[in-house]
Structure 1
Amino acid sequence: MPPYDDWNKIEEEEDEELQDDSFLESKKDVILFCIDCSESMLELYDDPNYEESVPTCHLYTALEAAMQIEKRKILVGPNDSVGILLFNTTRKAEVNRKQGSEIKKNTFLFQPISALGAPMMQELIQLLDAAREDPNELRTTIPPLTGKRVAISDVITSCNWVLRDGAPKTATKRVFLITNEDNPNPGPGSWQLMTSARTTLIDLAQSGVTIEPFFISTTEKPFDVTKFYSSVLLPSNIGDEDDSDEADPSVLPESISISRIEDLLSQMRFHEVPKRAQFSVPFEFAQGLTIGVKGYGLVTEQKKGAYRYFVDLGDRMEVATARTVYIDEDRQVEVDKSKMLYGMSVGETAATADSDEDDGSGVGTRIVKAGQRPFYTADDIKSFRTLGLEPGIKLLGFKNRDQLRFEDNIKHSQFIYPDEMAYSGSRRTFSALLKTMIKKKKIALVRTLTRRNAQPMFCALLPQEEKADEGGWIDPAGFHLIPLPYADDIRSAPIEKGLRASDKLKDAARAWIDKLSVKNGAYPPDSYPNPALAYHNAQLQASAFREQYDPESFEDLTEPKADMIHKRAGNLMQAWKVALVNDDSADMVSVPPVTGSKRKADVSVDEAEIRSKYETGTLGKLRVDQLKDFLKSKSQPVSGKKADLIERVAEWLDAH
């Protein structure tokens, strides 16, 4: 297996990704909506979301979903880019319209890939408003291709060209394919077209682009993925030659098939945020045996977007570039950060010390005398934190799985997956270790350093086997990287006596809990957004598009539905309360609350301050507890009155 510094290591990944997590915010995400505009997508039907009988079509729903995603991207990802490509249409680009690259025939670039902004979206908003008033507006503006269809290979090729010309090279590039046609290229030659589509898709994947399909399926026209797309879009990673014989090529996850048109936007929001690796490091098994892995965060808090400073230039507003500099107070000049020294801020400063010297470079130096504190460079501080280790994961050993206790999980874990692009054979070696640990019910102990400025940690590797549930969600195969606590991270519980509920009381509680359980036993966090954040984003969105915002229209999806709860389990909850009161094992004696004791203020003073007061004859201004703390630190007796303590401190300072 090639070493880490060998030619096989991809150099495109900048070293800054190992420095901190800021790249998670700065790395751009590019989404290209690829929407089918065929006759079936333009067929009108009554929209159930409106009280009036207003006809709509699948194309309108797809464009509206793209508009909603663009609005959300402006708030949560202002640095991201979005484009819209339409296929199976006869519309041609205008002379004054920027079409980008020469894309295939019967494809039209409605929105080139560019940074999001309100002016760019006005055309799409106006088109949707006009289509709501006149159902035939979309057919007039985007005429469908009749009698034939564009080959999917040409559609994928057009997507590749558009992304190549408009998307940044370091961005995460994805294509959202929306269609309701399960057999786009029927008739003779379909097998050749299917093979061509598969080949172009592999080329697209090798360039770093992934396709996320959204198939529209209705009762009148169900979507059958086995006719075409199951042979083109495989559920496993493209190019995974090791597991290609285990996957069923005729089956695609049901989660990508939209059973109802109303689910299109909600399904897109699950795929809205790309899976970005938090770190990419080598995983060392033993001397000379190393693979590459990527780490992903499973839990991330969504926060408000960072504010920016703007400069008023009169005719326009420009974003101000923020830069942090360090200024020498005496010379009022910028200081080179690489020449800065670090040390504890006590006593006399380096600028006023008698030992200051100038070596001719303009940088003051200070000779550290015996018994005084030293200064350290940035490299020294970095070596203290990382212990001189390079980012990576090193395998230390194995333990039985039952030795990993619940209280060992003090913070949320990360999920690691093999990185075949860093080391050839990483996926095969990773899979072998995973299967063996699952078979033997083992966990691994590793030493972890994920970034260059992080601290080394000891972690447990908990293997996870790939599985799928009834809802179609798949738990990927990989390892959970669980940081292990140190001895002082775990405190003993103050509870001395524990009470256990009886079986009858448990059954009474289980009765109403089952009535209020979430479907499929899984909680979808994307379906219940943070209400404070959602309210803030809704106001920003209305302000950006100059729309009137009605606060009464905001709906808090996290608010409990009290009427439904009482209707389903009100009687059962009342019965459980009665059983709880009458149960002998329940301790109903009220326990007085324990008030927290106040922590004493930090009254300690450093030696430099006491010595300065001694030299000025003001030791009497110190308190008794401060004098005693100083004497304790010097192993001196602390008995006697304040005068005795002052005399004892003075004697020690004279001797030292």
Structure 2
Amino acid sequence: MPPYDDWNKIDDEEDEELQDLSIYEGKRDVILFCIDCSPSMLELYDDPVYEDAKTCHLFTALDAAMQIEKKKVIVGPNDSVGILLFNTSRKSDLTRAQGSEIKRNTYIYQPISMMSAPKIQELMQLLEAAREDPSELRKEFPPLEGKRVPMGDVFTSCNWVLRDGAPKVASKRVFLITDEADPHSGPGSRQLITSARTTLIDLTQAGVSVEPFFISTPDKPFNVDLFYSSVLLPNTLAEDEDLETDPSVLPESISISRIEDLLSQMRFHEIPKRAQSSIPFHLAEGFTIGVKGYGLVTKQTKGTYKYFVDMGDRMEVVTSRTVYVDEDREAEVERNKIVYGMDLGATAASRGEEEEESSAPSVGRAGKNGQRVFYTADEVKAFTTLGLEPGIKLLGFKDRSELLFEDNVKHSYFIYPDEMAYSGSKRTFSALLKSMLKKDKIGLVLSLNRRNSSPSFCALVPQAEKADEGGWNDPAGFHLIPLPFADDIRAAPIEEACRASDKLKKSARAWIDKLSVKNGAYPPDSYPNPALAFHNAQLQASAFREEYDPESFDDLTEPKYEMIYKRAGQLIKSWKEDLAHDESANMVVATTGSKRKADVNVDEAEIRSKHEAGALGKLRVDQLKDFLKSKGIAISGKKADLVDRVSGWLDTN
């Protein structure tokens, strides 16, 4: 039976998960790069990295797609990626074989498929050839001259490519890359805009989201109001009336002013936003909206390893499953017959062994003194959830000033309205958010996010939408902060400490200001975990059958000592001198020693020597029990009983 600590870790294979099982939050990720091949995308300009070299926007887009694929093959081998080019006159048999819905002047360079090294190497070879001969891409993908493919046809082709190649349960996204702000500027533009928006709605209803990457240059600025603000669907909490008065729902900041930033922007959108929970939000009796919960902090770990079996001519992945076996009958136990109980410790266990012969433990709510009480999995889950159904219940409001810093002891969840669950959720959610921001209030709620979790009181903290020059930084929504129980926060011991003088503080502040992070922001993507990065670099070299040089690894978290010395070297020296002459530097805080616990462990060789000398009685009771417990022998009874058991085991072994 599992110990008490494992009660909250009951396998929930048959449990109804609280995640939305729709195609929006699938475990797999599918990305279709939809790249424009118009003449402006193939126009050559000086490469900003390599001297005496030419490049183009299409090369940069394909290179960014290749970098994403190389990363996916390590961190997401089950994900799928494809590349669709439009506004090109190249034709392929694959396009005709896919069906008539793959529109003309759209070319499938890479169909939707799982990551593989040969697939990425093919793209790498194309980019190498294009780097040596800048006109290679124009030869490979000749642009469509004099006209453009209607965006409605582009979205239709994307729909069919994803429908035929992507798994049904997956998060499907289209990365749209173009530098043309007004693709339908001629006659009939209104009809083309309507057609594009209609086909985009069809694409969205099929579970596909479109994430644009608009390339803007000084010579050709990108104005989203010309076309895309009327086509792409809104992604804000604005109410319907606001959208009618202001049709521009896309900010100018989504345009990429520097083509070199394309890869960094893609990496920001690379990880799909999967909801951890989809639950109702009860605002009052009979007044409910739907919300989705998202985790803001995730620990990045190494990919899960797999077992393979050699089939002779091929290697296949081993399918693993967990089976519980009864040791006495040596037979598999059905999951619904497994019961759970709490470990009562050595004393109670020993008392239970003495009474084991008289009466066996019964499965129920009460047992004899010293015996464990067992419960079914459903009963254990009822204990953890207190009989509540998953959801969030609004209890009231408080002033924001009443939320203390030390109340945030766990990672918060970010909740966002779910219009698919309850109609009108977005409008109601937006009204509540605006009202709480205006009155500077926070909410107090009772939350149960999943069926196998415990309910907790949480603070509902509103967050207004905040934008910066690089794009939408903070979306509008609520932070759900679990509030601590009384025993979660303990007062720190108050001890006397040395206080630095004002001169020493000023001296330290001088060099700290010189080494502070710009804008007070820390971009985690810019400083990856060096252990994971080193591990992934070796995996990548192994996947592409390349030699890996460990000396070439660059640890981005390593401090830049030369820059530190250049900026604050003299200031740090001055601070050290002030610290050496400060009176508090020579003060020592007296501390009391702690009592060390006696060592109980005794090795088997020493006990054997005591046994041979007939001196087992000189050992302490706790030492005898510790030895018997390590051998799986009962530890009940007096010291003489313990000595007899130890002696009997040593005689037979």
What's the TM-score bracket when you normalise by the shorter of the two chains?
Answer: 0.7 to 0.9
Q: How far, CA to CA, are the matches of 1:353 and 1:642 in structure 2?
A: 22
Q: What are the residue-to-residue correspondences of 1:33-182 with 2, within 5 Å?
A: 33-51=33-51, 53-94=52-93, 99=98, 102-182=101-181
Distance in 1 (CA, whole Å) between partners of 2:576 and 2:185 is 64
Q: Equivalent residue for 1:566? A: 565
| Separation of aligned partners in 1, 2:58 and 2:204 | 27
Residue 257 in structure 1 maps to residue 255 in structure 2:
yes
Residue pair 2:33, 2:83 contacting (<8 A) in 1 also: yes
1:567 is displaced (CA, Å) by 1.8
Contact 2:73 2:116 in 1 (8 A): yes
- Residues 259-278 of structure 1: per-residue CA shift (max 9 Å, x gap): 22221111111111011111
The 1:48–1:355 alpha-carbon spacing in structure 2 relative to 1, beyond 3 Å, is same
Q: How does 1:66-465 map to 2 (within 5 A)?
A: 66-94=65-93, 99=98, 102-233=101-232, 236-237=235-236, 241=240, 243-245=242-244, 249=248, 252-254=251-253, 256-344=254-342, 346=349, 370-371=368-369, 372-465=371-464
CA contact (8 A) 1:38 1:89 kept: yes
Question: Structure 1's 220 and 320: CA in aligned 2 closer, same or farther, altered over 3 A?
Answer: same
Deviations 1:368-396 (A, max 9, x none): 75434322111111111211111111222
Partner of 1:518: 517
Residue 594 to residue 83, structure 1, CA distance change in 2 (3 Å): farther
* Range that drifts further, 204-213 or 476-485: 204-213
Distance in 1 (alpha carbons) for counterparts of 2:273 and 2:153: 27
Change over 3 Å in CA distance of 1:574–1:216 after alignment to 2: same
2: distance between equivalents of 1:96 and 1:184?
A: 23
Instruction: Indicate how the Cα distance of structure 1 residues 514 and 154 shifts in structure 2: closer, same or farther if over 3 A, else same.
Output: farther
Give the partner amino acid of 1:489: D
Equivalent position SS for 1:83: strand
**Aligned 8 A contact 1:99 1:109 in 2:** no
Residue 20 to residue 549, structure 1, CA distance change in 2 (3 Å): farther
User: Does the CA-based 8 Å contact 2:19-2:276 persist in structure 1?
Assistant: no
Tell me, yes or no, if the aligned pair for 1:242 and 1:428 is still in contact at 8 Å.
no
Query: In 2, are the aligned partners of 1:46 and 1:56 still within 8 Å (CA)?
Result: yes
- The answer on whether the counterparts of 1:355 and 1:367 sit within 8 Å (CA) in structure 2 is no
CA shift in 2, pair 1:479/1:599, >3 Å: farther
Distance (Å, rounded) in 2 between the aligned partners of 1:460 and 1:238: 21
Equivalent position SS for 1:17: coil
Deviation of 1:44 after TM superposition, in Å, equals 2.2
Q: Which moved more, 1:311-320 or 1:364-373?
A: 364-373
In the alignment, residue 230 of structure 1 is paired with which amino acid?
S
Structure 2 Cα separation of the partners of residues 589 and 570 of structure 1: 27
Higher mean C-alpha deviation, range 184-193 or range 324-333? 184-193
Distance 1:205 1:501, change over 3 A: farther
Quote the residue 1:552 is aligned against. 551
User: What's the CA shift for 1:300?
Assistant: 0.9
1:290-316 deviation line (CA, Å, top 9, x unaligned): 211111111111111010001111111
Note the C-alpha offset of 1:353: 6.2
CA contact (8 A) 1:26 1:79 kept: no
Q: Secondary structure at the match of 2:415?
A: strand
Q: How does 1:576-591 map to 2 (within 5 A)?
A: 576-578=575-577, 589-591=587-589
Q: Post-superposition shift, 1:543? A: 0.5
CA distance in 2 between partners of 1:594 and 1:61 (Å): 65
Q: In structure 2, what is the Cα distance between the partners aligned to 1:65 and 1:470?
A: 22
Aligned in 2, Cα 1:373/1:318: closer, same or farther, shift over 3 Å? same
What CA distance in whole angstroms lies between the structure 2 residues aligned with 1:600 and 1:381? 38
Amino acid corresponding to residue 17 of structure 2 in structure 1: E
**Alignment partners' CA distance in 2, 1:45 and 1:286:** 61
Indicate the larger mover: 37-46 or 287-296: 37-46
Equivalent residue, structure 2, for 1:646: none
Q: Quick one: structure 1 residues 171 and 471, their matched pair in 2 at CA, closer, same or farther if it must change by over 3 Å?
A: same
CA contact (8 A) 2:293 2:416 kept: yes
* Aligned-partner residue type, residue 269 of structure 1: R
Letter in 2 for 1:543: S
Structure 2 contact 24–170 (Cα < 8 Å) conserved: no
> Which whole-Å CA distance do the structure 2 matches of 1:432 and 1:602 have between them?
64
Cα 1:212/1:498, change in 2 over 3 Å? farther
Deviation (angstroms), 1:355 = 5.7
Q: Equivalents in 2 of 1:20, 1:489: separation in Å?
A: 32
Distance 1:24 1:321 in 2: 26
Could you tell me how far apart the structure 2 residues matched to 1:243 and 1:109 are?
A: 39
Q: Which one is further off, 461-470 or 365-374?
A: 365-374
- Contact 2:390-2:448 at 8 Å conserved across structures: yes
C-alpha displacement at 1:495, in angstroms? 3.2
1:265 aligned partner, one-letter code: L
Q: 1:470 and 1:56, CA in 2 relative to 1: closer, same or farther beyond 3 A?
A: closer
Aligned partner letter, 1:263: D
Distance in 2 (CA, whole Å) between partners of 1:172 and 1:488 is: 41
Amino acid of the structure 1 residue aligned with 2:162: L
Give the CA deviation at 1:190. 2.4
- RMSD over aligned CA atoms reads 3.6
Change (3 A) 1:600 1:451: farther
Counterpart amino acid of residue 328 in structure 1: D
The 8 Å contact of residues 462 and 479 in structure 1, kept in 2 or not, is answered as yes
Deviation at 1:201, TM superposition (A): 2.3
> 259-268 or 563-572, which moves further after superposition?
563-572
Confirm or deny: 8 A CA contact 1:93 1:99 kept in the other structure.
Answer: no
Change (3 A) 1:365 1:529: closer
TM-score (norm 2): 0.82
Which residue does 1:615 correspond to in 2? none
Question: Does the 8 Å contact 2:419/2:426 carry over to 1?
Answer: yes
Query: Which residue of 2 is the match for residue 634 of structure 1?
Result: none
State the match for 2:541 in structure 1: 542
CA distance in 2: counterparts of 1:163 and 1:509, whole angstroms: 58
Is the contact made by 1:420 and 1:427 (CA closer than 8 Å) also made in structure 2?
yes
C-alpha distance in structure 1 between counterparts of 2:578 and 2:252, whole Å: 45
Question: In 1, Cα distance between the equivalents of 2:592 and 2:46?
Answer: 63
CA distance in 1, matches of 2:26, 2:56: 37
Contact 1:89–1:142, Cα closer than 8 Å, also in 2: yes
Task: Give CA-to-partner distance per residue, 1:549-591, whole Å, 9 cap, x none.
Answer: 222222111112121222223334444445556678x676243
Separation (CA, whole Å) in 2 of partners of 1:582 and 1:215: 59
Secondary structure of the residue aligned to 2:48 is coil
Give the counterpart letter for 2:332 in structure 1: E
Query: How many angstroms apart in 2 are the aligned matches of 1:166 and 1:20?
Result: 22
SS in 1 for 2:323: coil
Which residues of structure 2 form unaligned runs of 5+? 1-13, 344-348, 602-615, 626-637, 641-653
Q: Percent identity?
A: 68
Q: CA deviation at 1:482?
A: 0.9
Q: For 1:214, what is the secondary structure of its paired residue?
A: strand
Structure 1: tracts of 5 or more residues without a match: 1-13, 358-363, 604-617, 628-640, 644-656
* Letter aligned with residue 185 of structure 1: H
2:608 counterpart residue number: none
Q: Give the Cα–Cα distance (whole angstroms) in 1 for the partners of residues 139 and 114 of structure 2.
A: 28
Q: How many Å separate the matches in 1 of 2:439 and 2:624?
A: 59
Aligned residue identity for 2:150: A
Distance in 1 between the 2:327 and 2:19 partners? 30
Shift of 1:103: 0.9
1:57 is displaced (CA, Å) by 1.9
How many angstroms does 1:155 deviate by?
0.9
Tell me which residue corresponds to 2:526: 527
Q: Is the 8 A contact 2:237 2:426 kept in 1?
A: no
